[in-house]
Amino acid sequence: MFVSVFLWIFWLGFLLYLAYKLYRSLRIVSAQECIIVERLGKYSRTLHAGFHILIPFIDYDAYYHTLKEQAIDVPPQTCITKDNVKVEMDGILYLRVLDPQKASYGIEDYRFAVTQLVQTTMRAIIGTMDLDTTFETREVINSKILEVLDQAGEPWGVRVNRYEIVNIAPPKSIIEAMEREKKAQITKKAQISLSEGDRDSRINRSLGIKEEAINKSEGEKQKRINEAEGQAAEIEFIATATAKGIELLASSIKTKGGKEAVKLRIAQRFIKEVEKLGQDRTELVLPLNLSNFKSVMKSVLGSEDKKA
């Protein structure tokens, strides 16, 4: 009874194992993936996307690979620059498996190998550069690392498409010194800008004052010229009018009745001046006897006759 139960359990286990192996011989490979199949310990073939059947107990799926582009993080590492400054640098690289067979048998772990190669190459490149240069030439560093990885990756069946430096972290003391230097440069630039602005402002103000003074002097000069020309024209006009008046007066006196007209005009003028004596705040001293107006007029007209 015990033997029969044992045999039944044995055959049941064997059938289950056989069913498992038959199930494992069926493979469905997804897109952008592949399986390396070994037959009796040797490379047999590479299975790509689709349905595949393996021979149980003979074929064995040894390696699985993805054909997608992979992003691998490169851990931070300490590098020493040419001017003996320690900096920590990390990055990220992008690679793709081109030959699954080489990626399986060419190296134990291509991801680890590529990461280590990036770190050693980066240390070697940073050792030839100053600290300031490392910040300014990231693209140069990336391209140099990519050249080395491209040569080394061919036997491994992988191709590194690009590498990017993520962070460059110098020591805290170096960062503080760089910040102080940058602040000093900014302050210097600001002072230079302010001084140049003040200089330009002073120059503009002086030019404005100069032009204003020139304009004022030109205006004053033109004003005086105009006033002088106006006065000269006025004097000339008055002189001409006076000469014409004298000329007309002289010609009038020579005519018949001219002398009597002159005497009459003098008398009228004298009477008007005498009338002003009656106005307020008028003081006048005359050496004439105004009580006898007729004798006064006679003396005035007589004197005019003598002068004539």
What confidence tens digit (pLDDT) does each residue in 38-71 have?
988 888 899 988 888 888 888 888 899 999 999 9
**Looking at residues 73-82, what average pLDDT do you find?**
87
Average pLDDT taken over every residue of the chain: 79
pLDDT at 75 over 60: yes
Residues across the chain? 308
- Is 91:163 a contact under the CB 8 Å cutoff? yes
pLDDT at 237: 81
- Is 86:79 a contact under the CB 8 Å cutoff? yes
Q: Two tokens at 292?
A: 């006898």
What's this model's pTM, rounded to 2 decimal places?
Answer: 0.53
Nearest to 91 by CA among 141, 127, 137, 136: 141
CB atoms within 10 A of CB 285: 4
What confidence tens digit (pLDDT) does each residue in 127-137 have?
888 887 887 78
Nearest to 28 by CA among 46, 49, 44: 49
* 3-class DSSP string for the chain: CHHHHHHHHHHHHHHHHHHHHHHHCEEEECCCEEEEEEECCEEEEEECCEEEECCCCCEEEEEEEECCCEEEEEEEEEEECCCCCEEEEEEEEEEEECCHHHHHHCCCCHHHHHHHHHHHHHHHHHCCCCHHHHHHCHHHHHHHHHHHHHHHHCCCCEEEEEEEEEEEECCHHHHHHHHHHHHHHHHHHHHHHHHHHHHHHHHHHHHHHHHHHHHHHHHHHHHHHHHHHHHHHHHHHHHHHHHHHHHHHHHHHHCCCHHHHHHHHHHHHHHHHHHHHHCCCCCCCCCCCCCCHHHHHHHHHHHHHHHC
What confidence tens digit (pLDDT) does each residue in 209-246 have?
888 888 888 888 888 888 888 888 888 888 787 778 77
Half-sphere exposure of 134 (CA within 13 A, CB side): 27
pLDDT bin (cut points 50, 70, 90) of residue 273 is low
**Looking at residues 103-114, what average pLDDT do you find?**
89
pLDDT at 304 over 50: no
Rounded Cα–Cα distance for residues 182 and 269 (Å)? 98
Rounded Cα–Cα distance for residues 261 and 267 (Å)? 10
- Is 115:182 a contact under the CB 8 Å cutoff? no
